[in-house]
Protein backbone atom coordinates (compact mmCIF):
# COMPACT_ATOMS: atom_id res chain seq x y z
CA UNK A 1 0.00 0.00 0.00
CA UNK A 2 1.38 3.44 -0.92
CA UNK A 3 1.97 6.12 1.72
CA UNK A 4 -0.59 8.43 0.06
CA UNK A 5 -3.28 5.77 0.49
CA UNK A 6 -2.62 5.73 4.24
CA UNK A 7 -2.81 9.50 4.45
CA UNK A 8 0.97 10.00 4.50
CA UNK A 9 2.27 12.17 1.68
CA UNK A 10 5.93 12.49 0.78
CA UNK A 11 6.08 15.85 2.55
CA UNK A 12 4.75 14.49 5.84
CA UNK A 13 7.13 11.51 5.72
CA UNK A 14 10.08 13.84 5.03
CA UNK A 15 9.01 16.24 7.78
CA UNK A 16 8.65 13.35 10.26
CA UNK A 17 12.12 12.08 9.35
CA UNK A 18 13.59 15.58 9.70
CA UNK A 19 11.92 16.23 13.05
CA UNK A 20 12.99 12.82 14.36
CA UNK A 21 16.59 13.58 13.42
CA UNK A 22 16.43 17.00 15.05
CA UNK A 23 15.01 15.58 18.28
CA UNK A 24 17.73 12.92 18.30
CA UNK A 25 20.41 15.55 17.80
CA UNK A 26 18.92 17.64 20.61
CA UNK A 27 18.97 14.68 22.96
CA UNK A 28 22.56 13.95 21.99
CA UNK A 29 23.47 17.52 22.95
CA UNK A 30 21.76 17.15 26.30
CA UNK A 31 23.48 13.86 27.08
CA UNK A 32 26.96 14.94 25.98
CA UNK A 33 29.41 15.54 28.85
CA UNK A 34 29.92 19.32 28.75
CA UNK A 35 29.73 22.25 31.10
CA UNK A 36 26.26 23.69 31.77
CA UNK A 37 26.81 27.03 29.99
CA UNK A 38 28.30 25.30 26.93
CA UNK A 39 25.37 22.87 26.77
CA UNK A 40 22.83 25.71 27.07
CA UNK A 41 24.64 27.63 24.33
CA UNK A 42 24.58 24.61 22.00
CA UNK A 43 20.91 23.96 22.77
CA UNK A 44 20.08 27.62 22.01
CA UNK A 45 21.98 27.44 18.69
CA UNK A 46 20.28 24.14 17.91
CA UNK A 47 16.87 25.62 18.73
CA UNK A 48 17.52 28.63 16.53
CA UNK A 49 18.55 26.33 13.69
CA UNK A 50 15.40 24.21 14.11
CA UNK A 51 13.18 27.31 14.09
CA UNK A 52 14.94 28.63 10.98
CA UNK A 53 14.56 25.31 9.13
CA UNK A 54 10.92 24.93 10.18
CA UNK A 55 10.16 28.48 9.05
CA UNK A 56 11.86 27.81 5.74
CA UNK A 57 9.93 24.56 5.25
CA UNK A 58 6.64 26.27 6.12
CA UNK A 59 7.39 29.03 3.62
CA UNK A 60 8.14 26.51 0.89
CA UNK A 61 4.98 24.59 1.70
CA UNK A 62 2.95 27.81 1.58
CA UNK A 63 4.44 28.73 -1.80
CA UNK A 64 3.66 25.29 -3.22
CA UNK A 65 0.11 25.37 -1.85
CA UNK A 66 -0.43 28.81 -3.39
CA UNK A 67 0.91 27.59 -6.73
CA UNK A 68 -1.31 24.47 -6.65
CA UNK A 69 -4.36 26.55 -5.74
CA UNK A 70 -3.62 28.96 -8.58
CA UNK A 71 -3.27 26.09 -11.05
CA UNK A 72 -6.49 24.51 -9.83
CA UNK A 73 -8.33 27.84 -10.09
CA UNK A 74 -7.04 28.28 -13.64
CA UNK A 75 -8.15 24.76 -14.64
CA UNK A 76 -11.61 25.29 -13.15
CA UNK A 77 -11.97 28.63 -14.93
CA UNK A 78 -10.89 27.11 -18.24
CA UNK A 79 -13.30 24.20 -17.82
CA UNK A 80 -16.16 26.53 -16.94
CA UNK A 81 -15.42 28.72 -19.96
CA UNK A 82 -15.46 25.67 -22.23
CA UNK A 83 -18.73 24.48 -20.70
CA UNK A 84 -20.32 27.92 -21.18
CA UNK A 85 -19.19 28.01 -24.81
CA UNK A 86 -20.60 24.52 -25.44
CA UNK A 87 -23.87 25.48 -23.74
CA UNK A 88 -24.18 28.65 -25.83
CA UNK A 89 -23.43 26.68 -28.99
CA UNK A 90 -26.09 24.05 -28.23
CA UNK A 91 -28.61 26.68 -27.17
CA UNK A 92 -28.11 28.55 -30.45
CA UNK A 93 -28.57 25.34 -32.44
CA UNK A 94 -31.75 24.46 -30.56
CA UNK A 95 -33.12 28.00 -30.92
CA UNK A 96 -32.43 27.90 -34.66
CA UNK A 97 -34.14 24.50 -34.94
CA UNK A 98 -37.20 25.72 -33.04
CA UNK A 99 -37.43 28.82 -35.23
CA UNK A 100 -37.11 26.70 -38.37
CA UNK A 101 -39.84 24.42 -37.03
CA UNK A 102 -42.13 27.38 -36.38
CA UNK A 103 -41.56 28.72 -39.88
CA UNK A 104 -42.23 25.33 -41.46
CA UNK A 105 -45.42 24.98 -39.43
CA UNK A 106 -46.63 28.42 -40.45
CA UNK A 107 -45.96 27.65 -44.12
CA UNK A 108 -47.92 24.41 -43.83
CA UNK A 109 -50.80 26.18 -42.12
CA UNK A 110 -50.90 28.78 -44.88
CA UNK A 111 -50.93 26.09 -47.60
CA UNK A 112 -54.07 24.43 -46.27
CA UNK A 113 -57.11 25.46 -48.28
CA UNK A 114 -59.66 27.47 -46.42
CA UNK A 115 -62.80 25.43 -45.90
Domain spans in the chain, listed from the N-terminal domain onward: 4-111
Q: How far apart are CA 58 and CA 17, in angstroms?
A: 16
Using CB atoms within 10 Å of the CB of residue 16, give its burial: 0 to 12 exposed, 13 to 18 middle, 19+ buried: exposed
pLDDT for 1: 47
- pTM score > 0.75 for this model? no
More confident residue, 96 or 41: 96
Buried-state track 80-105, b at ≥16 Cβ within 10 A, e below 16: eeeeeeeeeeeeeeeeeeeeeeeeee
Residues 18-75: pLDDT tens digits? 777 777 777 776 676 667 787 778 778 888 888 888 888 888 888 888 899 999 999 9
Q: How far apart are CA 29 and CA 42, in angstroms?
A: 7
Amino acid sequence: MRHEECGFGAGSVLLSFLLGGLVGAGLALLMAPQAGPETRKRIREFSDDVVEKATSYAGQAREKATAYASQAREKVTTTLDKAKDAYDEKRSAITAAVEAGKEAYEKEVQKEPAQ
